Amino acid sequence: MTPGSTPRAETLWLPARHGHQLATYHVFQGDTNHCGPSVATMAVNFWHGKTVLDAQRTAHAMNWPRMGWGIPPLVIRRVPNWATFPWGIADMLRRNGLQARWRWLATETHIQEALAAGRIPMPIFGEPLRRRGWRPDGWGHVAVVVGWSPDRMWFVDSSERTAPTSRPRAEFLRLWHNMGQLLVEGW
């Protein structure tokens, strides 16, 4: 697929690396808010074809800011034990030997191109403005897309006990649009 081309009406899958699918490195986050650190862990381990990171240790490391070379020089990757920023996931990937980027307003074509090129797409999706009565009840989540078809998306999702899982494409796109179509990619 070339940049800007029309999406193909076929199923796309993230290619195996080192003889393994990404689901081989699935991490279950349990009842924690560690989806960002878990996704970073799965992506790094899959890319290298071996266990390089442990999800709990990654979460602990991401809780702390680190000094960087940019402006500002302090890289805040995460609100401790709660929300992970997209640049925090990209930073953890870079610090462990991958190239990475994140962006707002990505398109479904960007996800398809990533899959076709063997890059690891990690969209952030959710319902940040959801309420239960007067109480805010919003949520956000990040998972690795490992498959795309015209009607379904497949994920290796740390909130699920098994992998891969799927959800209807239309539902995913709605939840992704809610979060500004944030996309982290690693390669």
Q: Which tens digits make up the pLDDT trace of 22-45? A: 999 999 999 999 999 999 999 999
Whole-number pLDDT of residue 13: 98
Whole-number pLDDT of residue 39: 99
Distances (CA, A) of 178 to 3, 14, 20, 46, 104: 24, 25, 33, 28, 12
Whole-number pLDDT of residue 70: 79
Whole-number pLDDT of residue 14: 98
Whole-number pLDDT of residue 1: 46
Whole-number pLDDT of residue 8: 55
Instruction: Answer yes or no: is 3 within a domain.
Output: no
Instruction: Answer yes or no: is 165 within a domain.
Output: yes
What is the C-alpha separation between 92 and 102, in angstroms, rounded?
12
Closest by CA to 115, choosing from 36, 176, 186, 33, is 186
Instruction: Answer yes or no: is 155 within a domain.
Output: yes
What are the helix (H) ranges across the chain?
35-48, 55-62, 86-95, 108-117, 169-178
Instruction: Answer yes or no: is 151 within a domain.
Output: yes
Whole-number pLDDT of residue 36: 99
Residue 158 structural domain = 12-186
Residues of the chain with pLDDT under 70: 1-9
| The total number of structural domains that make up the chain | 1
Instruction: Answer yes or no: is 5 within a domain.
Output: no
Instruction: Answer yes or no: is 56 within a domain.
Output: yes
Q: pTM here?
A: 0.92
Instruction: Answer yes or no: is 160 within a domain.
Output: yes
Q: Looking at residue 83, which CATH number applies to its domain?
A: 3.90.70.10
Burial of 21 (0-12, 13-18, 19+ CB in 10 A): middle
Instruction: Answer yes or no: is 4 within a domain.
Output: no
